[in-house]
Structure 1
Amino acid sequence: MKKNILEVDGIQKKYGERVILSDVYLKCETSDIIGLLGRNGSGKSTLLKIIFGVISAPNKCIRIDSVSKNNQNVLLNDISYLSQEQFIPNHLSVKKAVILSVDKQKIKFFYEDEFIQSILFKRINHLSGGELRYLEIKIVLFNASKFVLLDEPYNGLSPIMVDIVNELIKTNSYKKGIVITDHNYQNVIKISTQLILIKDGKTHYIKEKAELVDKGYLTSSAFL
């Protein structure tokens, strides 16, 4: 299977006089699960939105398989993006949302999921927060894109659903590269094959978890 490579470099972003991102390099390949860590306001979500194209940034350099994507806005064919905000309209049924979002050849496989079967005929606005989040994650992961960006996927999920979602992420990582960020850093650390910390606007590749303590992201008691 061919490996695809996403490279992001030279991204800078300011809001007024406040510098959010100033020296960012990120590389993600097929089968990578990149865990993006950082304190609140460090620029994690902003970076994902810039990569996907919903936020502009000067001098950004985005390449997929060595081909520049700088002049494209939203990279729907190459990258799928799970935002923190709900993206499925409330008036739809779950079944209709799946039909509109998932390739016809994949729908049968999509339905082979006891949880999806249990909510299939519900309206979106009747789902719990966790049910909706699971549906959104699964739809995004079933997209034919080469890469997936997941922003706060664990929000509202029970511990059992977190485990199911992690299995979904692992299964899809065999054919996609995945970047994930979430306030639940324990789950991010647990599932990731590579960790990147955003601090002071810069990306720091983490080789040992103890570096997260050295760089002031975690306290030593977090490892106890």
Structure 2
Amino acid sequence: MTHILEADGIQLSFSNRKILSDIYIKCETGKVTGLLGRNGQGKTCLMQTIYGTLRPDIKSVRFDGVYINKPYRRSDLLAYVPQFNFIPPSLTIERVFNDFKLKVTGFEKIFPTFGSGIKSQLGNLSGGQRRLIELYVIITSKALFVMLDEPFSHLSPVQVEQVKALITEEKSNKGFLITDHMFRHVIDIADHTYLLANGKLNLTTSVEDLEYLGYAHF
């Protein structure tokens, strides 16, 4: 069964400056939705609005047609990896996996060269290692939809490919909304892509659309 996450009518302003205007976005389980846009266009604001931690002027967020006021309270429906680290640095890898009810062996199978023991505290890991832990526990969570904000930051090229493979595998039972300034990786795994520019969201169907809208040249 396909599940649908929709957000529409989104209006967001800061100091009389329009950030988002009449936004509509749709995500489905079984698919990766890409969200592209230049810096400062409001991609993170849009994700925070959908998640419910940012209050816009107007919004409507629905799961399978049912309105949800504060999606961040429904971990079964929506999970979110922000740009910044969100798991306390004092926790050990073992504690994090226990809290998320996951087995470390599954992580070690996908990232065999990770290099730190389960007793290590997150604060003692490198930026890339810490990011991998946070990405893994959310990507493999039981949420129907997962939003990833800059997931490829701090990762090595090999780790980026490993994370992309994990997302592709996990999309069989959930939907993803992903944004990253390393846009070629987003395009590589996205089933369809939105471009946010000047407060408006455009659904693109090809790289030619992105070129036409002035985002990038390929």
Residue number in structure 2 paired with 1:52: 51
Q: Assess if the C-alpha contact under 8 Å between 2:28 and 2:175 holds in 1.
A: yes
SS at match of 2:155: coil
Tell me the CA shift for residue 71 of structure 1.
Answer: 5.8
Residue number in structure 2 paired with 1:216: 214
SS at match of 1:50: helix
Alignment pair present for 1:77 and 2:76: yes
TM-score normalized with structure 2 length: 0.93
Q: Distance in 2 between matches of 1:163 and 1:14?
A: 37
Aligned CA distance change for structure 1 residues 65 and 107 (closer, same or farther; 3 Å): farther
TM-score normalized with structure 1 length: 0.91
Question: Deviations 1:21-78 (Å, cap 9, x if unpaired)?
Answer: 0021111111110110001011101000010111112321111011111366643221
Residue identity (%): 36
Residue number in structure 1 paired with 2:91: 92
Question: Unaligned regions of 5+ residues in structure 1, if any?
Answer: none
Q: Distance in 1 between matches of 2:59 and 2:74?
A: 14
Tell me the CA shift for residue 119 of structure 1.
Answer: 3.9
Residue number in structure 2 paired with 1:11: 10
Q: Distance in 1 between matches of 2:139 and 2:133?
A: 10
CA RMSD in angstroms, aligned pairs only: 1.7
Question: Deviations 1:5-24 (Å, cap 9, x if unpaired)?
Answer: 10110001011111110021
Q: Distance in 1 between matches of 2:106 and 2:121?
A: 21
Matches for 1:60-209 after TM superposition, within 5 Å: 60-70=59-69, 74-100=73-99, 102-103=100-101, 109-110=106-107, 112-113=109-110, 114-115=112-113, 118-209=116-207
Aligned CA distance change for structure 1 residues 96 and 72 (closer, same or farther; 3 Å): closer
Matches for 1:22-33 after TM superposition, within 5 Å: 22-33=21-32
Q: Distance in 1 between matches of 2:148 and 2:72?
A: 19
Aligned CA distance change for structure 1 residues 151 and 108 (closer, same or farther; 3 Å): same
Tell me the CA shift for residue 112 of structure 1.
Answer: 3.9
Question: What letter corresponds to residue 193 of structure 2 in structure 1?
Answer: L
